[in-house]
Amino acid sequence: MERSFFPKFKIFLCQIINPLKDDKCQWIDGGAVVLLRTQKLSLSGAPSYVFHDKGQEKDILRKYGSKRSLEIIDRKSFTLLPSFFDLHFHWVQDEVRLMPKKSLLEWLSKHTWPYEAKFKSKYFSLRKAKGFSKELLKVGTLGGACYGSLHGHSVDHGIEFFEGDFVLGNVIMTMNSPDYLTQSKENALDLIREKAKIFKSKYALTPRFAPTTHPDVMKKGAFFANRHGCFIQTHLSETKQEIEYVLSLYRQMDGFNKVKSYTEIYQKCGILGPKTIMGHGIYLSEKELKILSKTKAAIAHCPTSNAPVKDKGLGSGLFDFEKAEKAKIKWALGSDIGGGPFLSMFDVINSFVKQNRKKKVWGATFVKGLNRSTLVPANILGIGENTGNIEAGKWANFIFVPSPPKKKGEDVDSFLKRLCSPKGLSRNDYKDLVVETFLKGHSRYSHLN
């Protein structure tokens, strides 16, 4: 329960992990974090808090211990980390994430689409959004880019209930999809125009992927998205079978007969730009990487979704982050629920490191995984100045996780490894790793006491 009295300062005594770069992460053992009350009120009417200071416990207590309006909270057996961003997930696929996944196209038509059709009911959508908002708090995800169903209210409900910094879009399906999940081009554009105007940068124009969205709708949709400062998100080059299908479809369409690649199709539709997030991008040619780099589009990499079928993924392959970085393409991590089996970003980080190390790609570290699920996605969403890590003046959005037992002489990556994948926990248990989630300095989920 939140108290009616809000102290000017809140000090948490804890270990601190603060991602700074792909190869740099601040780690303070025996630390303290200071939050400062602001004039800004949250939706509940309570004042919001920002991070104000951090350091060794004794130094912080010397500096702030005599302040009159102060609350000191003991979390010494826990580690404080910034809350997560999930740059690619489908909130309307929560119940198909563990369904049999033989191939992407089969899983979509057999399990995913029939389930998404249920969201036609406003009541069903509302009930599911309330439940899913609690799941997000529980795993410590307070931001990201998210796909709804075909139905406009799946965006309204997500925006109403998901706490933090989420960008949402209704998937657009105007062709090559089942009758029960197909909208006319006119209906799709009316909906895009309406949502873009209302939600602006919280809205994402969301063609499901090229095969299901007519290029006219992508082109006109991009016009509305750009006019209102919206994001754009879709899927790109997830499997080879999908690429063949996309190219064979589009090469029969006017204006696309000579198209050379999947990326070029999106470029021709005008949906590539600095506010575009492409899901997956596993099989990209050098030319395609160049197009993405030039247009400043970002990639959401979803390792658990792309993982082999035996690991509960769709077996699509592994995104080559080194190649993407060489081409200067921004990228961050996503769970891709329900292609990905688990919502916890701890599971996603573990999978990113594990799959790459198996291929002897040693640049995939836990420090990097954490950076790519906190600060980098915040920057991609254009809010890195206000959130994403623990710096003075940023919103106090953070989580507590049990600190692993101490090990002498260990570096931060090894500490993070033990924190992200504690011994004896199964992947399904990662959802319980977060013991407390704070949004703007207020506890929004806790299983302490």
Binding site for Zn ion (CB under 5 A): 279, 336
Distance of alpha carbon 339 from alpha carbon 302, whole angstroms: 9
- Shortest Å, Cβ 339 to Zn ion: 5
Helix residue ranges, H only, 206-329 = 215-227, 240-250, 262-268, 286-295, 303-306, 321-326
| Least distance in angstroms from the C-beta of 328 to Zn ion | 24
Tell me the three state secondary structure of residue 341: coil
Cβ proximity to Zn ion, 338 vs 441, nearer residue: 338
Least distance between Zn ion and beta carbon 147 (Å): 6
Q: How many Cα atoms occupy the beta-carbon half-sphere of 371 within 13 Å?
A: 18
CB of 158 to Zn ion, least distance (A): 15
**In the complex with Zn ion, which residue's Cβ is closer, 28 or 345?**
345
- Classify each residue of 180-207 as buried b or exposed e, where b means 16 or more C-beta atoms within 10 Å of its C-beta: ebebeeeebbebbbebbeebeebbbbbb
Residue ranges in 139-239 assigned as alpha helix (H)? 152-161, 185-199, 215-227
208 vs 116: CA distance, rounded Å: 12
Smallest gap from Cβ 301 to Zn ion, in A, equals 12
* CA–CA distance, 422 with 414 (Å, rounded to integer): 12
- Residue reference for tokens 């369904």: 99
Residue type, 162: F
Residue for token pair 């690649």: 261
The nearer residue to Zn ion, 31 or 339, going by C-beta atoms, is 339
Decide whether 270 or 340 has the Cβ nearer to Zn ion. Answer: 340
Q: How far is the CB of 90 from Zn ion (least distance, A)?
A: 6
Distance CA 205, CA 233 (A): 6
Smallest separation, CB 264 to Zn ion (Å): 21
Closer to Zn ion by Cβ: residue 347 or 436:
347
Decide whether 298 or 390 has the Cβ nearer to Zn ion.
298
Residue 271 or 401: which CB sits closer to Zn ion? 271
